[in-house]
Structure 1
Amino acid sequence: MPYAQVEPGVRLFYTDDGEAGGEPPLLLVHGWGADSHQWSWHIDALSAGHRVIAVDLRGHGYSSVPETGNTPRAMAEDLEVMLGRLGIPQVVAVGHSMGAQVVSILAVEHPQRVRALVTLDPGYGMSAEIAAGFPGMIAALRGERPHEAAERIDEWCTNAGTPALIRRWHKRRLYGMPPHVLAQAFEAMFVSGDAIGVRPASDDYLARRRCPVLSIWADPGRAQWESGLLKDPTSAVLCWEGASHRLHEERPEAFVHAVEGWLRRL
């Protein structure tokens, strides 16, 4: 399977499926504590009409695990380098949760690389009330039982309708994660000085995205909030009430249908 060297000591694992055509490839970016296996529900359907690149972010899956720097901003820079190595000038970047932060940073800092964004229950737009609990979560991730702390955080990502298979899949991946990566990435998403996960930092940064955005949420309040930040008239926000944070895994056919339909309208 392919690897891309993005800096000394850091290489990214990725898969490359489908046929190169006249439109930008899809770049699939997983969330916190997961890896590109997260797209196993979707790659076959998407690659029938698109070239599809699915990547393991640094610190995750089969990619390198640096001791430091496991942050969304570094991950976005990794993707910029990887796309250059692969000779891909532009992509439609698809990100779930933390991956939505990563692809949004890529779109802001390297706008020429991103034709359009698809963000799935994004890891941004958190309220100050929710964010008040994050320092305690980070302390637990750095404590004696980091994987148990990660599992408690992950309970927020599912609901009564989430299939047991999906719950088990994510639990197994979390317990295989290096604890320092879980802590560094979570802190960089929400607490660090340049974090964009909590409002108003989310508002200020995401308003800089100029490309079309399709955003799919489980939370109607945050869906309505993001609709006010989108600049391109072809952007769209959907809300799948009743879904959990794992909405694209719970409803893979609906996800593929929504993405394909929106891309045709572009």
Structure 2
Amino acid sequence: MPYADVGDDISLFYTDDGGGDGPPLLLVHGWGTDSHQWSWHIDALVAAGRRVIAADLRGHGYSSVPETGNTPRMMAEDLSVLLDRLGVAQVVAVGHSMGGQVASILAVEHPDRVRALVALDPGYGMTADIAQGFPTMIEGLRGEHPHAAAEAIDEWCTNAATPAVIRRWHKRRLHGMPPHVLVQAFEAMFTAPDAIGVRPASDDYLARRRCPVLSIWADPRRANWEAGLLKVPKSKVVCWEGSSHRLHEERPAEFVQLVGGWLRSLRV
């Protein structure tokens, strides 16, 4: 499997499958996991005639683990360089959780790169009542048992709809993560001065996206909130109420069908 040097001693592991005339799909995983998260979907997307690029973000999976800089903004810059290395001018960026934040940053900072954006229960739009718990979570990630703290954070990501194999898969991934990456990425998402994960910073930054957005949520309140931000024609918000944060893993066939139909409506 290939690796790409994206600068500053950072090498990204990625896979590149399938083909087609349209922009490739760039799949961006969430916090504390890696591109194996897309194993539920890649074959079906390729079978639908899509080229699919799936990378491990810095600090995650098989990619380089720097001591600093494990932030969504740096991850988005890495992906832009990766696309340069692959000779890919434009993609449909698909991001889950933290990956939804990374993909949105890529769309804002490199608007010519992103033809369309799919955000899956993305890691932004947190309200103040949720955000007040973040300092305690960060303290736990910095403490003596960071993986236990990460597992506790991850508990809100599942519910009765989540198969046991998905729970176990994510737990094992979290326990394999370098603790400093977990805390740096979490802080950068939600509490750092330039973080965009909490409102109103989310509103201001996401309003700068200039591509069509398909946003898929499990929470109807957050779905309604983002619907008010989407001004580009053919943008769409879908809510799979009853699903967990792992909604696309719980409903992979429905996810592939929904994304394919939306992209066809865009003639992508």
- Aligned match of 2:129: 129
C-alpha separation between the residues in 1 aligned to 2:77 and 2:46? 25
- Aligned match of 1:115: 115
- Aligned match of 1:246: 246
- Aligned match of 1:146: 146
Deviations 1:171-222 (A, max 9, x none): 0000000000000000000000000000000000000001000000000000
How big is the shift at 1:134? 0.2
C-alpha separation between the residues in 2 aligned to 1:164 and 1:22? 38
Instruction: Answer yes or no: is the 8 Å Cα contact 1:36–1:54 preserved in 2.
Output: yes
- Aligned match of 2:33: 34
Deviations 1:105-134 (A, max 9, x none): 000000000000000000000001100010
C-alpha separation between the residues in 2 aligned to 1:2 and 1:115? 25
- Aligned match of 1:213: 213
Q: Which amino acid aligns with 2:5?
A: Q
C-alpha separation between the residues in 2 aligned to 1:169 and 1:236? 30
Q: Which amino acid aligns with 1:5?
A: D
Q: Unmatched 5+ residue regions in structure 2?
A: none
- Aligned match of 1:93: 93
- TM-score normalised to the size of structure 1? 0.99
How big is the shift at 1:225? 0.4
C-alpha separation between the residues in 2 aligned to 1:254 and 1:219? 17
- Aligned match of 1:5: 5
How big is the shift at 1:7? 1.0
Matched pairs, number: 265
How big is the shift at 1:80? 0.6
- Aligned match of 1:46: 45
Instruction: Answer yes or no: is the 8 Å Cα contact 1:211–1:231 preserved in 2.
Output: no
C-alpha separation between the residues in 2 aligned to 1:30 and 1:214? 16
C-alpha separation between the residues in 1 aligned to 2:80 and 2:98? 17
Q: Unmatched 5+ residue regions in structure 1?
A: none
Query: 1:137-216 maps to which residues of 2 (within 5 A)?
Result: 137-216=137-216
User: Once superposed, which parts of structure 1, at least 4 consecutive aligned residues long, lie more than 3 Å away?
Assistant: none
- Aligned match of 2:265: 265
C-alpha separation between the residues in 1 aligned to 2:255 and 2:31? 20
Which secondary structure does the structure 1 equivalent of 2:40 belong to? coil
Percent identity of equivalent pairs: 80
Q: Alignment RMSD, CA only?
A: 0.5
Q: Which amino acid aligns with 1:220?
A: P
C-alpha separation between the residues in 2 aligned to 1:154 and 1:164? 14
C-alpha separation between the residues in 1 aligned to 2:243 and 2:2? 34
C-alpha separation between the residues in 2 aligned to 1:104 and 1:4? 22
Deviations 1:131-190 (A, max 9, x none): 001011011101000000000000000001210000000000000000000000000000
How big is the shift at 1:8? 2.4
Q: Which amino acid aligns with 2:100?
A: A
- TM-score normalised to the size of structure 2? 0.98
C-alpha separation between the residues in 2 aligned to 1:64 and 1:27? 19
Which secondary structure does the structure 2 equivalent of 1:88 belong to? coil
